[in-house]
Structure formats: structure tokens, C-alpha cells
Amino acid sequence: MSFTLAIVGRPNVGKSTLFNRLVGRKLALVDDQPGVTRDLREGEAKLGHMRFTVIDSAGLEEATDDSLQGRMRRLTERAVEMADACLFLIDARAGVLPADEVFADILRRKNAHVILAANKAEGRAGESGLLEAYALGLGEPIRLSAEHGEGMTDLAQVLAPLIEEVDARAEADAPVTDVDVDEEGEDDGPRVPTVERPLQIAVVGRPNAGKSTLINKILKDERLLTGPEAGITRDAISVRTEWEGTPIRIWDTAGMRKKARIDDKLEKLSVSDGLRAVKFAEVVVVLLDVNIPFETQDLRIADLAEREGRAVVVAVNKWDLEDEKQDKLRELKESFERLLPQLRGAPLVTVSGKTGRGLDRLHAAILKAHEVWNRRVTTGQLNRWLAGMLEQHPPPAPGGRRIRMRYMTQVKARPPGFVVMTSHPESVPESYSRYLVNGLRADFDMPGTPIRLWLRDQGDKNPYKDKARKAPPSKLRKHLGPKKRPDR
């Protein structure tokens, strides 16, 4: 395992800004208001030639009860305990506050390697705060400016010996492995998830549907912040694990409400982050609340996943609270088929994120959806199938122009995409395209997965179509008379 660095400190000292600087991308949400980050976010950091894992944590609060701030503090303390080193940030412009002194004492007891850094120390405004940092008893502070990238060389010099020590220890303990990766013919069959390329899963839904609780149960660890409050999750947090033998990377996303109800700038950033997670995912789990399933926003989220071309699994959470399970399940299936016809046949699974019941069925449904999403059909099979579909239901002839569909092939997978070479593709009605898509879904066992169908003009093969009609040479001679021999 690589070296792990946890960034901790009071709210709004610049932890997420430094995290984004180290990973080289704007992964963590950044805003002027304090307390933006709530969960632990991991990223692969690059600093010079060094590579290591960095953890962005929630701002340390003095609360120790079961309030939201207290739960955030306990989650941050866990990150400190699991990290190889801890980078304690203070705000050089604000100076050392009483809370900084309390947290410095806590960090000394919980982590052997604590690195002190004074952020926002550019210019003269941070001089006094930098000098005050010596009083914390954590050694010489590093002068940083995460926003402008100042002090990164000094940070690298402090981290270098720690990273070398951890890497040497990991190399000595690492087992011998021999992994062959076949990069050719990637689309020739379903991709088998590996540790290097795990199955990408995004869990999306409305606020308070139980997404974080469900993921914690899958991880078998209280890794994500949960609670009765709606909208706790803000960042789209990804976690790698192995679920029943399948290497996965699962994304917890912020709850998505209607745009008309979103006034807060931070919530808009959170929703945008969740939409980005959907684009990275291979399988999207749309999580519904059994008490209020298939509301308008649920339908929009499911439709978004389908339009993005992702495999979709619909999971109904809090199933342990339902008394009339059989009647409720029958009602859910009827509503699903009626309200989401574009996902007809997609798996519908009932789960309980609190008790863990139904997680085995959810795992099987995700693997099945992923296999269908990767499915390929040979050209020979497709053209024999197309001939049968045309014979059973020929395409219409709008305006008296006969439509001829000559050839069909699959051009992509993930999701499956097909091309039909036809005459007059612009005249093919949408209803006939749906007829072909539904036939593909039924005859080649592709329930629920998005299917893309393109109609292309094969072109007219008649070489004389646009040429003027010319009289044959024999008829021309009759008008011109006999061919005369030149005079000698």
C-alpha cells in the first residue's frame, strides 16, 4: 500500500484547495464558506517524482456529541489514525486560535508523524501567524500557499524520507504476483473487473434515500458520514473495495433535488459533482425510498442515467420498514414498467441499507446489468434477424418512396450501438426505430440496457442515376451518315 497523508485542520483553512493542488485536479468542492467538506475524499497525489495517497477531511470541530459536527469530527479522527502521516493546516492570516491548540494536542496523541503547515502565508499578511505556529510544539511550520502553489518544494522535502520508509516496508512485504493484461480486442467481450480496473458503480438518488448508509453496509465499515439529516453528502466520494469477490469502485453522490428548489450555490456544485460521477460510472444504481418511490425527480435521475448510456439498476431502499411486502412489490413493478418504458426489463431490487438484506441480490443484478451492457452480437446474426423483422413488419413507404434496409452491424458496446444501412433514412418514422430497438432487446436478451440505433444512407448504387441519357453509337451513325475515309 502506498504512503497515505491526511490533511486536517479547522474549517476553512484551505484543506480542499491543497488537496486539489496535490492531485492536480479540482476533485474536492471549494467554497468561501466553512464546512464544505464532510466526508473523507481520497486521491492520488503527485509531488515532484513522489506518488502517494492524500486524504481530504472535514474541518475539525470541538463538538464531541452525536450531532453532525460531532460525527464529522469522529470521521476525521479515523482518517488521522489510518494515515501514515498527518498534515496539520492552520490559517496564517488568522493566527493560532484556541481550537488549533486543542487539535494539536489531539494529533500528537493519535499520529506519530504530524507535519505542521501555515497556509495562506503569501505576502506579509501571514508573517505573524507563521511565527505563532511555533508555539504549538509540532516543530518548524512549513510556509504554504495552496491557492498559488507556494511552499510545495518545502513540503516535498519533509515528505520524502517518510514516503521512502513506507515504500521500502511495503516492497518487502508485497507478495509476488504475475498479472497478464490483454489490451487488444477490448470490445470483443465483457470486461472482467480487476483490481487495476475495478467495476465503476455510482449510487444516485434524492436526498435522504439512504445512499451513504447502503454503501457503508457494502464496505462493512462506517466509511461515509450518515445521519437523519437530509443532504449530508456534498462531494461525490469514491471508495475502492472488493464486494463478494468483485473489485469495485463505488461512488456516493449528493442527493439530487429539483432545480427549482436549489438556491444554494454549494448544493449546485454538489449536484454537478454527482452528475460527473454518473459519467465516470459503468453501472448506475438509482436508489429509491420505499415510502415515496418513483417521484418526478426519481424518474429524471433514471432517465439521465439512460441518456448517458449507463447500465441502470433500480434499488428500493428501506425495505425493512415495509409491512405488506408482496403487494408493495407488485405495485412497484407496475409503476416501473409504466413510468420508465425506456428501461423496461432493467433489474428492480429491494434492499435495506440498515440491515444489509438484499445486498446479494443487488450484487447479482449489477453484474448482470454490466454483462448485458458489454454484450456484442455478430454481423451474421444481426442480418438474419433484420431479414426476419422486415418480413414480419416491412417499413412504411412515406410519399410512395419505398424504404429498403440492406445491412446491419454492431459498431460499439457499453452501451450496445447498431447501424442500419438503409435508403431514405430521414423518412424512417420513430415508431419503426423503436420497433427495431425493442426487437433487439427481446431477441438478444438485452433487458434494461440503453440501446443506440443509427440509420445511415447507403447511397444509390446506380452509376447512371445523375448522368444525361446518351444515344448509343449505332443510332448516332444513322444521323451522321457513313464514316468517310480521309483524303490522301
List pLDDT tens digits, range 194-215.
Answer: 888 889 998 888 888 888 889 8
Poorest-pLDDT segment among 121-125, 274-278, 332-336? 274-278
Q: What is the pLDDT of residue 304?
A: 83
Cell of 483: 464514316
**Of the given ranges (26-30, 165-169, 185-189, 238-242), which has the lowest mean pLDDT?**
185-189
* Of 127, 138, 116, 139, the residue nearest 93 (C-alpha): 127
Does residue 468 surpass a pLDDT of 90? no
| 252 labeled part of a ligand binding site | yes
**Is 15 annotated for ligand binding?**
yes
Instruction: Give the pLDDT mean for 338-352.
Output: 88
Residue 207 marked in a binding site: yes
9 is in an annotated binding site: yes
Q: Any binding-site annotation on 60?
A: yes
319 in a labelled binding site: yes
C-alpha cell at 344: 423496461
91 is in an annotated binding site: no
The answer to whether 41 is a known ligand-binding residue is no
Residues facing 313 on adjacent strands: 285
Place 267 in a pLDDT band, splitting at 50, 70 and 90: very low
Single-letter code of the amino acid located at 164? E
pLDDT higher than threshold 70 for residue 120:
yes
Is residue 16 within 8 Å of residue 28, measured between CB atoms? yes
Q: Which of 121, 129, 130, 108 is CA-nearest to residue 152?
A: 121
pLDDT band at 174 (very low <50, low <70, confident <90, very high): very low
397 is in an annotated binding site: no
pLDDT in tens, 352-392: 988 999 999 999 999 999 999 998 999 999 999 999 999 99
pLDDT for the residue 37: 53
Is 335 annotated as contributing to ligand binding? no
Question: Cell numbers of 207, please?
Answer: 436526498
- Angle, nearest 10°, between helix axes 265-280 and 296-307? 40
Q: Is 317 annotated as a binding residue?
A: yes
Known binding residue 353? Answer is no
14 annotated as a binding-site residue: yes
State which fold the 379-461 domain adopts: GMP Synthetase; Chain A, domain 3 (3.30.300)
Is 320 annotated as a binding-site member? Answer: yes
Name the residue among 386, 400, 369 with its Cα closest to residue 440. Answer: 386
Task: Delimit the domains of the chain by residue range.
Answer: 4-173, 199-373, 379-461
210 in a known ligand binding site = yes
Average pLDDT over residues 421-449: 90
- Predicted pLDDT of residue 106: 77
pLDDT computed for residue 70 by the predictor = 58
Q: According to the annotation, is 318 in a ligand binding site?
A: yes
Report the greatest alpha carbon distance in the chain.
121
Is 466 within any annotated ligand binding site? no
Is 226 part of any known ligand binding site?
no
pLDDT, residue 485, reads: 58
DSSP β-bridge partners for residue 6: 55, 86
Pairing of β 283-289 and β 199-205 = parallel
Q: Do domains 4-173 and 199-373 have the same CATH topology?
A: yes
- The alpha carbon of 289 is separated from its chain's Cα centroid by a whole number of angstroms, namely 21
Q: What band does 417 get if pLDDT is binned at 50, 70 and 90?
A: very high
Class of domain 199-373 (CATH, top level): alpha beta
Instruction: Tell me if the pTM is above 0.75.
Output: no
Least confident stretch, 301-310, 327-336, 404-413, 427-436? 301-310
Distances (CA, A) of 374 to 194, 304, 367, 368, 412: 16, 19, 11, 10, 9
CA distance 306 to 403: 30
Whether 212 has a binding-site annotation, put simply, is yes
Q: How confident is the model at residue 76 (pLDDT cuts 50, 70, 90)?
A: low
73 labeled binding residue: no
The pLDDT value recorded for residue 359 is 94
Q: pLDDT for 214-253, tens place per residue?
A: 988 998 887 765 555 544 554 567 788 899 999 998 888 7
Owner of C-alpha cell 440491515: 355
The CATH class for the domain spanning 4-173 reads: alpha beta
How does pLDDT run across 57-73, given as a tens digit for each residue? 776 665 555 565 555 56
**pLDDT, position 35:** 47
59 is annotated as contributing to ligand binding: yes
Q: Compute CA 175 distance to the chain's CA centroid, rounded to the nearest angstrom.
A: 31
Question: Residue 32 above 70 pLDDT?
Answer: no
Q: What is the mean pLDDT of the chain?
A: 78
Instruction: Tell me: is residue 206 an annotated ligand-binding position.
Output: yes
Contacts of 378 (CB under 8 A, 6+ apart): none
Residue 291 marked ligand-binding: no
**pLDDT at residue 268 is higher than 50:** no
| Annotated binding-site residue? 1 | no
158, 98, 155: which is closest to 121 by C-alpha? 155
208 is in an annotated binding site: yes
Q: Are 282 and 200 in contact (CB under 8 A)?
A: yes
Q: Is 209 annotated as a binding residue?
A: yes
Q: Which residue has the higher pLDDT, 257 or 201?
A: 201
